[in-house]
Protein backbone atom coordinates (compact mmCIF):
# COMPACT_ATOMS: atom_id res chain seq x y z
CA UNK A 1 0.00 0.00 0.00
CA UNK A 2 2.66 2.52 1.01
CA UNK A 3 4.36 2.20 -2.37
CA UNK A 4 1.28 3.73 -4.02
CA UNK A 5 2.12 7.11 -2.51
CA UNK A 6 5.67 6.95 -3.83
CA UNK A 7 4.62 6.54 -7.44
CA UNK A 8 5.24 9.83 -9.29
CA UNK A 9 1.93 11.41 -10.18
CA UNK A 10 3.68 13.65 -12.60
CA UNK A 11 6.93 13.64 -14.55
CA UNK A 12 8.00 17.06 -15.80
CA UNK A 13 10.52 17.33 -18.61
CA UNK A 14 10.78 20.76 -20.20
CA UNK A 15 13.96 20.49 -22.23
CA UNK A 16 13.46 23.92 -23.78
CA UNK A 17 10.79 26.61 -23.95
CA UNK A 18 11.28 29.53 -26.31
CA UNK A 19 8.69 32.23 -26.98
CA UNK A 20 9.19 33.05 -30.67
CA UNK A 21 10.11 36.51 -31.91
CA UNK A 22 7.07 38.72 -32.58
CA UNK A 23 6.60 42.30 -33.77
CA UNK A 24 10.21 43.39 -33.34
CA UNK A 25 10.66 41.53 -30.03
CA UNK A 26 13.46 38.98 -30.06
CA UNK A 27 12.78 35.32 -29.32
CA UNK A 28 12.82 34.61 -25.56
CA UNK A 29 14.40 31.38 -24.35
CA UNK A 30 12.64 31.11 -20.97
CA UNK A 31 13.11 27.55 -19.65
CA UNK A 32 15.94 25.05 -20.09
CA UNK A 33 16.48 21.45 -18.97
CA UNK A 34 13.76 21.35 -16.30
CA UNK A 35 13.36 17.80 -15.12
CA UNK A 36 11.59 16.61 -11.95
CA UNK A 37 9.03 14.12 -10.68
CA UNK A 38 6.18 14.91 -8.32
CA UNK A 39 4.99 12.24 -5.89
CA UNK A 40 1.29 11.70 -5.27
CA UNK A 41 0.03 13.70 -2.32
CA UNK A 42 3.00 16.07 -2.13
CA UNK A 43 2.68 19.85 -1.91
CA UNK A 44 5.36 21.36 -4.15
CA UNK A 45 6.10 25.09 -4.26
CA UNK A 46 7.79 26.44 -7.38
CA UNK A 47 9.56 29.65 -6.56
CA UNK A 48 12.01 32.05 -8.19
CA UNK A 49 12.36 35.67 -9.25
CA UNK A 50 9.70 37.68 -11.03
CA UNK A 51 9.75 37.03 -14.77
CA UNK A 52 11.73 33.84 -14.17
CA UNK A 53 9.39 31.48 -15.97
CA UNK A 54 7.28 30.02 -13.10
CA UNK A 55 3.91 30.72 -14.73
CA UNK A 56 5.22 29.55 -18.09
CA UNK A 57 6.19 26.23 -16.48
CA UNK A 58 2.82 25.85 -14.72
CA UNK A 59 0.95 26.60 -17.95
CA UNK A 60 2.98 23.90 -19.69
CA UNK A 61 2.21 21.39 -16.91
CA UNK A 62 -1.49 22.31 -17.14
CA UNK A 63 -1.48 21.68 -20.89
CA UNK A 64 -2.36 25.32 -21.61
CA UNK A 65 0.90 25.74 -23.55
CA UNK A 66 2.04 22.85 -25.73
CA UNK A 67 4.73 24.71 -27.70
CA UNK A 68 7.83 23.36 -25.92
CA UNK A 69 10.46 20.64 -26.30
CA UNK A 70 9.98 17.80 -23.84
CA UNK A 71 6.96 16.14 -22.28
CA UNK A 72 4.64 16.17 -19.29
CA UNK A 73 3.58 12.73 -18.20
CA UNK A 74 0.78 12.00 -15.72
CA UNK A 75 0.69 8.57 -14.05
CA UNK A 76 -2.91 8.24 -15.25
CA UNK A 77 -4.27 10.23 -18.21
CA UNK A 78 -7.64 10.45 -16.43
CA UNK A 79 -6.31 12.35 -13.41
CA UNK A 80 -8.55 15.23 -12.52
CA UNK A 81 -6.58 18.53 -12.68
CA UNK A 82 -7.80 21.89 -11.32
CA UNK A 83 -6.12 25.30 -11.79
CA UNK A 84 -6.36 28.32 -9.47
CA UNK A 85 -5.13 31.45 -11.24
CA UNK A 86 -3.69 34.71 -9.87
CA UNK A 87 -6.95 36.43 -10.70
CA UNK A 88 -10.03 34.62 -9.28
CA UNK A 89 -11.68 34.56 -12.77
CA UNK A 90 -15.25 34.36 -11.46
CA UNK A 91 -18.04 35.01 -13.97
CA UNK A 92 -19.41 38.44 -12.97
CA UNK A 93 -22.97 37.64 -14.04
CA UNK A 94 -23.17 34.54 -11.84
CA UNK A 95 -23.47 34.38 -8.06
CA UNK A 96 -20.71 32.87 -5.93
CA UNK A 97 -22.67 29.64 -5.60
CA UNK A 98 -23.42 29.51 -9.32
CA UNK A 99 -19.74 30.06 -10.14
CA UNK A 100 -18.90 26.95 -8.12
CA UNK A 101 -21.80 24.87 -9.43
CA UNK A 102 -20.86 25.68 -13.03
CA UNK A 103 -17.70 23.57 -12.96
CA UNK A 104 -19.70 20.41 -12.23
CA UNK A 105 -21.80 18.50 -14.78
CA UNK A 106 -25.56 19.09 -14.18
CA UNK A 107 -26.39 15.84 -12.37
CA UNK A 108 -23.10 15.38 -10.58
CA UNK A 109 -23.53 14.18 -6.97
CA UNK A 110 -20.90 16.71 -5.83
CA UNK A 111 -23.55 19.47 -6.17
CA UNK A 112 -24.70 18.26 -2.74
CA UNK A 113 -21.31 19.30 -1.28
CA UNK A 114 -21.39 22.94 -2.41
CA UNK A 115 -23.13 24.45 0.61
CA UNK A 116 -20.93 22.64 3.11
CA UNK A 117 -17.82 23.76 1.22
CA UNK A 118 -19.08 27.36 1.06
CA UNK A 119 -19.49 27.22 4.84
CA UNK A 120 -15.97 25.86 5.28
CA UNK A 121 -14.45 28.69 3.25
CA UNK A 122 -16.53 31.27 5.15
CA UNK A 123 -18.82 32.20 2.26
CA UNK A 124 -22.16 30.78 3.44
CA UNK A 125 -23.62 34.30 3.73
CA UNK A 126 -22.17 35.36 0.37
CA UNK A 127 -23.48 32.36 -1.60
CA UNK A 128 -25.98 34.51 -3.53
CA UNK A 129 -23.78 37.58 -3.92
CA UNK A 130 -22.25 38.53 -7.27
CA UNK A 131 -18.43 38.71 -7.43
CA UNK A 132 -18.31 42.52 -7.64
CA UNK A 133 -20.20 42.71 -4.33
CA UNK A 134 -17.49 40.87 -2.36
CA UNK A 135 -13.84 41.60 -1.54
CA UNK A 136 -10.86 40.21 -3.46
CA UNK A 137 -10.07 37.97 -0.49
CA UNK A 138 -13.61 36.54 -0.60
CA UNK A 139 -13.38 36.10 -4.38
CA UNK A 140 -10.22 34.09 -3.81
CA UNK A 141 -12.01 31.97 -1.22
CA UNK A 142 -14.62 31.29 -3.89
CA UNK A 143 -11.89 30.35 -6.37
CA UNK A 144 -10.49 27.88 -3.81
CA UNK A 145 -13.94 26.39 -3.27
CA UNK A 146 -14.43 26.12 -7.04
CA UNK A 147 -11.18 24.12 -7.28
CA UNK A 148 -11.86 21.89 -4.25
CA UNK A 149 -15.44 21.03 -5.28
CA UNK A 150 -13.84 19.13 -8.18
CA UNK A 151 -11.95 16.93 -5.68
CA UNK A 152 -8.91 17.22 -7.95
CA UNK A 153 -6.09 14.69 -8.04
CA UNK A 154 -3.74 17.54 -8.96
CA UNK A 155 -4.22 21.16 -8.02
CA UNK A 156 -2.15 23.77 -9.88
CA UNK A 157 -2.03 27.22 -8.26
CA UNK A 158 -0.39 30.32 -9.74
CA UNK A 159 0.26 32.99 -7.06
CA UNK A 160 -3.31 32.61 -5.75
CA UNK A 161 -2.78 34.94 -2.75
CA UNK A 162 -0.70 37.70 -4.33
CA UNK A 163 -1.57 41.39 -3.73
CA UNK A 164 -3.63 40.76 -0.58
CA UNK A 165 -2.86 42.36 2.76
CA UNK A 166 -0.85 40.07 5.03
CA UNK A 167 -3.65 38.96 7.43
CA UNK A 168 -5.98 38.15 4.51
CA UNK A 169 -3.24 36.23 2.69
CA UNK A 170 -2.36 34.38 5.90
CA UNK A 171 -6.02 33.49 6.48
CA UNK A 172 -6.23 32.07 2.96
CA UNK A 173 -3.02 30.05 3.44
CA UNK A 174 -4.49 28.52 6.58
CA UNK A 175 -7.73 27.81 4.75
CA UNK A 176 -5.79 26.10 1.96
CA UNK A 177 -3.94 23.96 4.52
CA UNK A 178 -7.25 22.99 6.16
CA UNK A 179 -8.82 22.05 2.83
CA UNK A 180 -5.68 20.18 1.82
CA UNK A 181 -5.47 18.29 5.16
CA UNK A 182 -9.08 17.16 4.84
CA UNK A 183 -8.47 15.91 1.35
CA UNK A 184 -4.75 15.65 0.54
CA UNK A 185 -4.17 16.15 -3.14
CA UNK A 186 -1.04 16.74 -5.18
CA UNK A 187 -0.40 20.50 -5.31
CA UNK A 188 1.96 22.56 -7.46
CA UNK A 189 1.95 26.08 -6.08
CA UNK A 190 3.77 28.92 -7.86
CA UNK A 191 4.92 31.82 -5.71
CA UNK A 192 7.71 34.40 -5.75
CA UNK A 193 7.34 34.58 -1.93
CA UNK A 194 9.88 32.23 -0.30
CA UNK A 195 8.25 32.51 3.11
CA UNK A 196 4.90 31.48 1.65
CA UNK A 197 6.61 28.57 -0.14
CA UNK A 198 8.18 27.27 3.08
CA UNK A 199 5.00 27.83 5.10
CA UNK A 200 2.85 25.74 2.77
CA UNK A 201 4.92 23.20 0.89
CA UNK A 202 6.46 19.82 1.65
CA UNK A 203 9.03 20.50 -1.07
CA UNK A 204 10.42 23.65 -2.67
CA UNK A 205 11.72 23.82 -6.24
CA UNK A 206 13.58 27.02 -7.04
CA UNK A 207 14.01 28.26 -10.62
CA UNK A 208 16.72 30.78 -11.51
CA UNK A 209 18.82 31.97 -14.41
CA UNK A 210 18.03 33.09 -17.93
CA UNK A 211 16.90 30.76 -19.31
CA UNK A 212 15.64 29.39 -16.01
CA UNK A 213 16.47 25.95 -14.72
CA UNK A 214 16.08 24.22 -11.36
CA UNK A 215 18.76 25.50 -8.98
CA UNK A 216 17.34 24.03 -5.76
CA UNK A 217 15.02 21.17 -4.93
CA UNK A 218 14.60 20.70 -1.17
CA UNK A 219 12.23 19.01 1.25
CA UNK A 220 10.72 21.36 3.85
CA UNK A 221 11.38 20.03 7.35
CA UNK A 222 8.40 21.50 9.19
CA UNK A 223 5.44 19.76 10.81
CA UNK A 224 1.93 21.10 10.18
CA UNK A 225 1.97 22.70 13.66
CA UNK A 226 5.31 24.46 13.03
CA UNK A 227 3.99 26.11 9.88
CA UNK A 228 1.97 28.66 11.86
CA UNK A 229 5.08 29.65 13.86
CA UNK A 230 6.72 32.55 11.98
CA UNK A 231 10.09 32.02 13.73
CA UNK A 232 10.23 28.34 12.75
CA UNK A 233 9.23 29.20 9.19
CA UNK A 234 11.91 31.91 9.00
CA UNK A 235 14.57 29.53 10.34
CA UNK A 236 13.62 26.90 7.76
CA UNK A 237 13.56 29.55 5.03
CA UNK A 238 17.10 30.57 6.03
CA UNK A 239 18.23 26.94 6.07
CA UNK A 240 16.93 26.38 2.54
CA UNK A 241 17.73 29.70 0.89
CA UNK A 242 20.34 31.21 3.21
CA UNK A 243 19.74 34.31 5.34
CA UNK A 244 19.04 37.14 2.88
N1 LIG B 1 3.03 34.79 -24.23
C2 LIG B 1 4.27 35.23 -24.09
N3 LIG B 1 4.98 35.66 -25.17
C4 LIG B 1 6.25 36.08 -25.05
N5 LIG B 1 6.93 36.11 -23.88
C6 LIG B 1 6.27 35.71 -22.78
C7 LIG B 1 4.93 35.26 -22.83
N8 LIG B 1 4.55 34.91 -21.55
C9 LIG B 1 5.60 35.14 -20.76
N10 LIG B 1 6.64 35.62 -21.50
C11 LIG B 1 7.98 35.95 -20.99
O12 LIG B 1 8.51 34.81 -20.37
C13 LIG B 1 9.28 35.18 -19.23
C14 LIG B 1 8.78 34.42 -18.04
O15 LIG B 1 7.48 34.91 -17.70
P16 LIG B 1 6.60 34.18 -16.56
O17 LIG B 1 5.31 34.92 -16.48
O18 LIG B 1 6.56 32.73 -16.80
O19 LIG B 1 7.50 34.46 -15.26
P20 LIG B 1 7.10 34.35 -13.72
O21 LIG B 1 8.28 33.76 -13.03
O22 LIG B 1 5.80 33.63 -13.58
O23 LIG B 1 6.95 35.87 -13.33
P24 LIG B 1 5.99 36.61 -12.23
O25 LIG B 1 6.43 36.09 -10.88
O26 LIG B 1 6.33 38.05 -12.41
O27 LIG B 1 4.58 36.26 -12.58
C28 LIG B 1 9.17 36.69 -19.12
O29 LIG B 1 10.32 37.25 -19.73
C30 LIG B 1 7.93 37.01 -19.91
O31 LIG B 1 8.02 38.30 -20.47
Q: Which range, 3-12, 74-83, 130-139, has the best average confidence (pLDDT)?
A: 130-139
The residue among 117, 27, 37, 26 whose CA lies nearest residue 73 is 37
- Looking from the CA of residue 20, the nearest atom of ligand 1 is 4
- 73-122 pLDDT, tens digit per residue, is 999 888 889 999 988 899 999 999 999 999 999 999 999 999 999 998 99
- 191-225 pLDDT, tens digit per residue, is 999 999 999 999 999 999 999 999 999 999 999 88
Q: If you measure from the C-alpha of residue 9 to the centroid of ligand 1, how many angstroms do you get, rounded to a whole number?
A: 26
- Looking from the CA of residue 28, the nearest atom of ligand 1 is 5
Buried b (16+ CB within 10 A) or exposed e, 164-192: beeebbbbbbebbbebbeeeebbbbbbbb
Q: If you measure from the C-alpha of residue 196 to the centroid of ligand 1, how many angstroms do you get, rounded to a whole number?
A: 21
Mean pLDDT to the nearest integer, 39-62? 94
* Residues in contact with 149: Cβ distance below 8 Å, sequence separation at least 6, in sequence order: 100, 103, 104, 110, 113, 114, 117
Which protein residues are within 6 Å of ligand 1, measured from CB?
A: 19, 28, 30, 48, 50-56, 192
CA torsion sign, 20 to 74 to 100 to 54? negative
- What does the alpha-carbon distance between residue 2 and residue 202 come to, in Å, rounded to a whole number? 18
The residue among 195, 107, 181 whose CA lies nearest residue 148 is 181
Domain covering 7-80+187-243 in this structure, CATH number: 3.40.50.300
Q: Residue whose CA is closest, atom 25 of ligand 1?
A: 50
Q: Residue whose CA is closest, atom 23 of ligand 1?
A: 51
CA torsion sign, 169 to 140 to 219 to 229? positive
More confident residue, 175 or 30: 30
Mean pLDDT to the nearest integer, 18-41? 93
Amino acid sequence: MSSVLNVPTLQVNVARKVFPAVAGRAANHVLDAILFDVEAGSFVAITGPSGGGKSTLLNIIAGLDRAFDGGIRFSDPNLNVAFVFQSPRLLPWRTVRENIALVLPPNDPRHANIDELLGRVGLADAAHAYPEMISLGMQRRAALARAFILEPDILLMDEPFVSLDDPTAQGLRQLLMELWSRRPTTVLFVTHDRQEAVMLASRVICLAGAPASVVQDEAVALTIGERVDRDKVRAEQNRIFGAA
